[in-house]
Amino acid sequence: MTDTARRTNGSDEADRTMTVVGLGLIGGSMATDLRRRGFANRIIGVDSAPMHCEAAVRLGLVDETTDLATAVAQSDYILVAIPVSASLQVLPQVLDLVTTQTVTDVGSTKRAVVDALRGHPKRSRFVPSHPMAGTENSGPWAALPNLFEGKAGIVCDVADSDEDALREVEAMYRALNMRLVRLRADQHDEHVAYVSHISHVTSFALALTVLEKEEDEHTLFDLASGGFSSTARLAKSSPEMWTPIFRQNADNVLNVLDEYLKQVQRFRDCLVEGDAEGLTRMIRNANDIRRVLNG
Amino acid sequence: MTDTARRTNGSDEADRTMTVVGLGLIGGSMATDLRRRGFANRIIGVDSAPMHCEAAVRLGLVDETTDLATAVAQSDYILVAIPVSASLQVLPQVLDLVTTQTVTDVGSTKRAVVDALRGHPKRSRFVPSHPMAGTENSGPWAALPNLFEGKAGIVCDVADSDEDALREVEAMYRALNMRLVRLRADQHDEHVAYVSHISHVTSFALALTVLEKEEDEHTLFDLASGGFSSTARLAKSSPEMWTPIFRQNADNVLNVLDEYLKQVQRFRDCLVEGDAEGLTRMIRNANDIRRVLNG
């Protein structure tokens, strides 16, 4: 469907039917915004959990739900928003079903899915992408409006997709008010290990450390305040989403983790040696993060 | 000054002059709330930085500023809110100056200050305390109303303070709507290593890891979103405050850091071995943090 065809009656509203596969936090939040902002006027949901399907219709995230084949046949555009392990199974099935539709995913790793689809006859209808937004919560109940506002919308390996498919996926991210970033899939996976995956490792480990101590000191969390919450918040994130991410991106996460452990070790050495100058130098260097973190 | 004396004219307003030594985030925020809530009707500021003194008066945090001796002589109540290294010098000076006034501090470590004041003839006028609240920002400009609302207000070694002094400090924390917690100084230092100090170590190390990578990948932070900000926010915290905390609480921080490193190492082992079950088990256990972190 061309841009011209979409703008019947002088309206910017798209006459586009969209399928969202995976009615969780990301799929649900995208559906909400993409309808409100006119990117799609009919949204079909697909989810293996009947409870998610019911909730997504009741919450108004989607108009109806059905099975994958029926949904794809009726759609112009298919968004796959499921754990990255499931994507490796479901994306080939979706591409088997498409003719001229556009397909994108939102997974937090990109190399594995690109590898899995290499050589698929419909590969060029697929645009691997990743919106850098989310919360630590899951399910259609966790869907939020404006979740993506101002964040990075990454599309990968753009030369491997048809131009019209790429244009349509980039239009979707623009409709969400995201900043478009183009990367190679391998670059993507390395970069997100630094700005997202490692934060989850440190948060899980921190939560486990304090929870273990709490077994002896039951009142420990009575003392916790904003600082602890901030660093431990991501530890609420589900294993259904994160175990597959860590497995698919293990090499990059291990590299970053080892860089991180070097920094912790340097900090530890300063503590052991009572090296006030060393601590001050490390903290002052870390303060440079003010440059990139606002507020 | 007794509760009865304070309630002249049937009002709950206290006729109390208070000195705040250290016009930074904590001293400034406490001054703001304690005046609004009637704990003090006159507040004198003391700070070694003339710029802080000027700002604190201009921002209305304090009524006037003067030198320590003049301030203490005119006050009923003295709050010391300076870095914990400076407290070891300033608190003995304050106690040398007091007759019947009450003195408290708000430092993030308590053992060192209790040790430094042991045997001081006015020790019983001092109540070591610590409000578990703050932000990563510093200076009188960073002062915020309602910063302490609902958080823990810890008082330590209560048997070593005069009853009226303890009552007055606990009344101050109640005026700030804090939850009062009584701990021994050594317990305090161990517990805050778990729920506050370790979070700062992990945040500093995380910021340093990503900042170092950014030297090669200039656009790295374009991809960062809420998860990274959350875990790296504390890395904005100043070395002036944190180097002395880490030095005074090095033993406890090292113990917690070593527990933390064991958890990171277990996670790393699962990554190396591709142990999905192990990762899922660790993440699910970490998810138990939902029990204590709201929202």
What's the pLDDT tens digit per position in A175-213? 999 999 999 999 999 999 999 999 999 999 999 999 999
Return the exposure string of B185-214: e unless at least 16 CB atoms fall within 10 Å of the residue's CB, then b. bebbbbbbbbbbbbbbbbbbbbbbbbbebb
Residues of chain A with C-beta less than 8 angstroms from the C-beta of B221: 195, 292
Q: How far apart are CA A190 and CA A249, in angstroms?
A: 8
Amino acid at A25: L
Size of interface A-B (CB pairs under 8 A): 284
**What one-character-per-residue DSSP string does chain A give?**
--HHHH-GGG------EEEEE--SHHHHHHHHHHHHTTS-SEEEEE-S-HHHHHHHHHTTS-SEE--HHHHHHT-SEEEE-S-HHHHHHHHHHHHHH-SS-EEEE--S--HHHHHHHTT-TTGGGEE-EEE----S--SGGG--TTTTTTSEEEEE-GGGS-HHHHHHHHHHHHHTTPEEEEE-HHHHHHHHIIIIIHHHHHHHHHHHHHHHHHTT-TTGGGG--HHHHHHHGGGGS-HHHHHHHHHHTHHHHHHHHHHHHHHHHHHHHHHHHT-HHHHHHHHHHHGGGGGT---
Cβ of B51 under 8 Å from any chain A Cβ? no
The answer to whether the Cβ–Cβ distance between B181 and A222 falls below 8 Å is yes
Nearest CA to CA, how far is A4 from chain B (Å)?
Answer: 33
By CB atoms closer than 10 A (0-12, 13-18, 19+), residue B240 is middle
Tell me how far the alpha carbon of residue A213 is from its chain's centroid: 32
The answer to whether the Cβ–Cβ distance between B204 and A256 falls below 8 Å is no
Q: Does residue A126 surpass a pLDDT of 90?
A: yes
Cβ of A253 under 8 Å from any chain B Cβ? yes
Q: How far apart are CA B224 and CA B238, in angstroms?
A: 22
B61-85 pLDDT, tens digit per residue, is 999 999 999 999 999 999 999 999 9
| Strand pairing category for B17-21 and B42-46 | parallel
Give me the residue from A192, A208, A287 closest to B263, CB to CB.
Answer: A208
Residue B136 confidence class, pLDDT cut points 50, 70, 90 = confident
Crossing angle of helices B163-175/B25-36, nearest 10°?
A: 90
Q: Which pLDDT score, from 0 to 100, does residue B295 have?
A: 52
Give me the residue from B195, B227, B285 closest to A208, CB to CB.
Answer: B285
Residues of chain B with C-beta less than 8 angstroms from the C-beta of A204: 263, 267, 282-283, 286
Domains and CATH numbers, chain B: 3-183 (3.40.50.720), 189-291 (1.10.3660.10)
Q: Which pLDDT score, from 0 to 100, does residue B8 have?
A: 41
Q: Tokens 């450390």 appear where?
A: A209
The answer to whether the Cβ–Cβ distance between B223 and A154 falls below 8 Å is yes
Partner B, chain A 113-172, Cβ-Cβ below 8 Å: 132-135, 151-152, 154
Residues of chain A with C-beta less than 8 angstroms from the C-beta of B134: 225-227
Partner B, chain A 205-234, Cβ-Cβ below 8 Å: 205-213, 217, 219-234
Mutation target to probe the B interface, by most B beta carbons within 10 A, among A85, A138, A156, A243 is: A243
Give me the residue from A199, A221, A244 closest to B228, CB to CB.
Answer: A199
Q: Which pLDDT score, from 0 to 100, does residue A4 have?
A: 42
For residues A237-258, give the mean pLDDT: 97
Out of A34-43, A151-160, B4-13, B194-203, least confident range: B4-13
For residues B31-57, give the mean pLDDT: 97
The answer to whether the Cβ–Cβ distance between B225 and A132 falls below 8 Å is yes
Q: Which pLDDT score, from 0 to 100, does residue A83 have?
A: 97
The answer to whether the Cβ–Cβ distance between A254 and B261 falls below 8 Å is no
CA distances from residue B62 to A27, B43, B72 in whole angstroms, order as listed: 51, 5, 15
Give me the residue from B206, B276, B292 closest to A243, CB to CB.
Answer: B276
Interface ipTM: 0.92
Q: How far apart are CA A58 and CA A277, in angstroms?
A: 59
What backbone torsions phi and psi does residue B102 show, to the nearest 5 degrees? -100, 140
Give me the residue from B259, B261, B287 closest to A236, CB to CB.
Answer: B287
Comparing CA positions, the residue from A212, A38, A260 lying closest to residue B235 is A260
A22-75 pLDDT, tens digit per residue, is 999 999 999 999 999 999 999 999 999 999 999 999 999 999 999 999 999 999
Tell me how far the alpha carbon of residue A33 is from its chain's centroid: 16
Mutation target to probe the B interface, by most B beta carbons within 10 A, among A195, A213, A256 is: A195
